[in-house]
A and B are shown apart, each in its own frame.
Chain A
Amino acid sequence: MKLFSFGSHFCYLFLIAFNCLGLAELSVAGSKAVSPKKNLETDLIRQTDRPHNYETPIEELNTLYTPNNKFFVRSHLPNSTEVVEKKWEISIHGEGFEKPFKLSLAKLKKDFTAVEVSAVSMCAGNRRSEFNPRVPGVQWGKGAIGNGLWRGVRLKEVLQRAGINPKTIEIAFNGADFPTLPGTPDFVKSIPIERAMDDSTLLAYELNGAPLPKGNGFPVRLIVPGWVASYWVKEVVSIEALTKPSDNFWMKKAYRIEKGKFPTVEKGFASQEDEKSVPISSLLINSLITNLKEGAKLKSGSEFSVQGFAWDGGHGIQKVEVSIDAGKNWSLATLGEQPGKYSWRPFSFKFSPNKGSEYQVMARATNDAGENQPTSPVHNPSGYHNNAIQSIQVVGE
C-alpha cells in the first residue's frame, strides 16, 4: 500500500519537512508497523554520545511495553558498519559445530519458526548513580531499562542446524560494532550452552511489532530473557560454539561480581566462575515506580494511583507492597497481568493525599522464590544489580 505516494501536495510537503527534521519515517512497507525514527538526542537522556549511551526518561516507562523510540541505548564500542539488510549474514562457526554455515537475514526469517517473548531488557548498571559511595562507570539513573515484546527465532533451532558437538560449553556472540584501536578488545559475550538451548533465548528482529530500532540491535540481536542486557548482543554477525570457556576481556574482566555478594544469582554460569568472582547473569527481584518524581505535588481531595512495574529473572512476581510513610506501614498493591515470566508486571496502589501532608512513597516486590528487595543497594565496585527499594518524597496540595 503506497500510502504516501499520492494525495495533496500539502501532504507531501509536510512529509518532506518532517523527514528533514528526522521526525517521521517515509518508507511504509506493506502494512508493517514502522518504528518512529529514533532521535537519540530528543527521545532519550544522554549519558554519553560516543559510544551511544542514552537512557529512557522515567515518564516514558509508564507503559507495559516501552515505546521503540524511547527504548534505552547502551553501546560499548564507538563504531559500527552500516546495515544493509540484503547483505546481512551471520557466520555460525567454531569448534563446537559439526556443520558451520552462513545465515542470511532472509533465511533466518524464512527457515525458522517465528516466536515472541515479552522480556525486560535491563543494563546491569541501571541506577548506578545511586550508589553511596559512588562508583565509576556510566552514571545511569533509573532509565537503562525497558520492557519489550521481542519477535524472532529460537536460537536453539539455528544451533541445531549447525550440529552441536557434545563438547560445546559456551556459545559466543559478536556484533558488527568494532573498536577504534587495535588494542581494544572487541565486544564479544558468551552464554552457557544450557541457556543457549533454552526455548526463551531468541535471535530477535522485531521489537513491539516493528523492526528493531538502530541502537537496539537492528537488524538482529540476541535476547536472553531473565539475564542482564549485556548478554543481549546487538547487530549479531557471528555465533561461535566454544569447547573451552571464552577468555574475552568482556567475560573475564568486565561484568563480574564478587562471590557471596548476590547469592541468589551466582549459579547461572559455572564455566566462567573463578575463585573469587562470577559473571553477572540473572536479574534480581526489583521494582520501579514510574509515575512519581521526587518532590511531586499531588492533588488533595482525590485519589492518586501509584503505578509501576516489578520484575525478576523469571521466578515470577508474587506480590508488591507499597508504603506511603517511609516504610512504617506496608499495603498490598494491586497486580496487573504479566505476559510471561520474563516481562515486568504492573502494580498500582491508590491513596488520598491530604493538603500539606508529605508522603515518602516506597514499593517493594517479592518474587515466587520468596526473594525481596533490600532497603539500600548492595555495594559493589562496578555498581551492578542495584535493586534497592525506591523512596520518593511527594506532597499533597
Chain B
Amino acid sequence: MMKKMSFIALFLVCGQTIFLWAGEVKNPPLEPLLEGVGGEKVAAYCIICHSLEYIKTNAPVMNRAGWEKTVHKMVQSYGAPISEGDQKIIIDYLEAKYSDKK
C-alpha cells in the first residue's frame, strides 16, 4: 500500500512539474536605465519605491509635460524626498531618454 502510494505521489509530482514547465512564461531580464546625464539620480530616487521598468513601459506615452506631472505627483502625492534641483535633473533625463519622439 505504502509503496503504491509513493508511486502515485511521484507520478503526481512529476505530472504537475511537466505541466508547469509546459506553461512556463519567459519574462525578459530586467534592464538597467539608458546611460545619460542624471541617470544615476533617477535610479537612486525612483528605486526607493518601485522598479525602474515603470519608466520604460510608460515612455511611449510620455513627453516633458508628462514627466513633469509624474515627478511632481511622486513628490506631492507619494512623498518622494527630491529637491527641486534634483527634480529638474530627473525631468531633463527622462525627457531626453524616455519620451515619445513622434
A residues apposed to B, CB below 8 Å: 3-4, 6-8, 10-11, 14-15, 18, 23-24, 36, 41-51, 57, 59-60, 69-70, 78, 133-139, 179-185, 249, 253
Residues of chain A contacted by B58 (CB below 8 angstroms): 136-137, 139
The listed residue with most A CB atoms (<10 A of its CB), out of B6, B24, B77, is B6
Instruction: With A10-B10, A42-B24 as known contacts, state yes or no: A48 contacts B49, CB within 8 Å.
Output: no
Question: Which positions 1-47 of chain B face chain A at CB distance < 8 Å?
Answer: 2-3, 5-6, 9-10, 13-14, 16-17, 20, 23-25, 27, 30
Known: A8-B10, A48-B53. 14 other contacts (CB 8 A): A3-B9, A8-B3, A14-B14, A18-B13, A18-B17, A36-B16, A42-B20, A44-B25, A47-B57, A48-B51, A78-B50, A136-B62, A139-B58, A185-B77
Q: Does B80 contact A (CB under 8 A)?
A: yes
A selection of 6 A-B contacts at a CB cut-off of 8 Å is: A11-B10, A18-B17, A45-B27, A57-B23, A138-B54, A139-B57
Bound Cα distance from A197 to B62, whole angstroms: 43
Question: When chains A and B are docked, how far (Å) is the Cα of A182 from the Cα of B79?
Answer: 7
Number of interface residues of B (CB under 8 A): 34
**B61 x A136 contact (CB < 8 A):** yes
List residues of chain A with CB within 8 A of the CB of B53: 46-49
Cα distance, A41 to B66, chains bound together (Å): 30
Q: Are A183 and B17 in contact (CB under 8 A)?
A: no
Once the chains bind, are A181 and B81 in contact (CB under 8 Å)? yes
With a CB–CB cut-off of 8 A, which chain B residues contact A46? 27, 53
Q: In the complex, which residue of chain B has the Cβ closest to the Cβ of A1?
A: B5
> Which B residues are CB-close (under 8 A) to A78?
49-50
A23 touches B20 (CB 8 A): yes
**Contact between B13 and A249, CB atoms less than 8 A apart:** no
Contact residues in A for B50 (Cβ distance below 8 Å): 48, 50-51, 78
Residue contact A249 to B77, C-beta cutoff 8 Å = yes
| A182: nearest chain-B partner, CB-CB | B79
* Docked CA distance A57–B27 (Å): 11
Given A7-B5, A11-B6: A181 touches B80 (CB 8 Å cut-off): yes
Are B24 and A6 in contact, with the CB atoms below 8 A?
Answer: no
Give the interface SS of chain A, mostly helix, strand, loop or mixed.
loop
List chain A residues, Cβ under 8 A from B14: 14
| Complex Cα–Cα for A136 and B55 (A) | 10
Q: Which residue of B lies closest to A3 (CB)?
A: B9
Nearest-neighbour CB distance to chain B for A249, whole angstroms, equals 6
Contacts of A59 in B (CB 8 A): 23
Chain A residue nearest to B53 (CB atoms) is: A48
Q: Output the least CB separation between A25 and chain B (Å).
A: 10
Q: What distance in Å separates the Cβ of B56 from its nearest Cβ neighbour in chain A?
A: 10
Please judge, given known A-B contacts A3-B9, A45-B27, whether A184 and B17 are in contact too, CB under 8 Å: no
Interface residues of B in 51-92 (CB under 8 A from A): 51, 53-54, 57-58, 60-62, 66, 70, 77-81
* Minimal beta-carbon separation of A222 from chain B (angstroms): 24
A8 to B30, CA, bound (A): 41
Cα A3 to Cα B13 with chains together (Å):
12
Closest Cβ neighbor of B21 among chain A residues: A23
Given the interface pairs A181-B79, A183-B78, A184-B78, the reply to whether A49 lies near B51 with Cβ below 8 Å is: yes
Q: A7-B3, A50-B50, A181-B80 are in contact. Are A41 and B13 (CB under 8 A)?
A: no
Within the complex, the shortest CB–CB distance from B32 to chain A, in Å, comes to 14
Q: Across the A-B interface, give the 10 residue pairs with the lowest CB-CB distance, nearest first.
A: A183-B79, A7-B6, A50-B51, A134-B61, A46-B27, A184-B78, A181-B79, A42-B24, A11-B6, A139-B57
* Chain B hits for A43, CB < 8 A: 20, 23-25
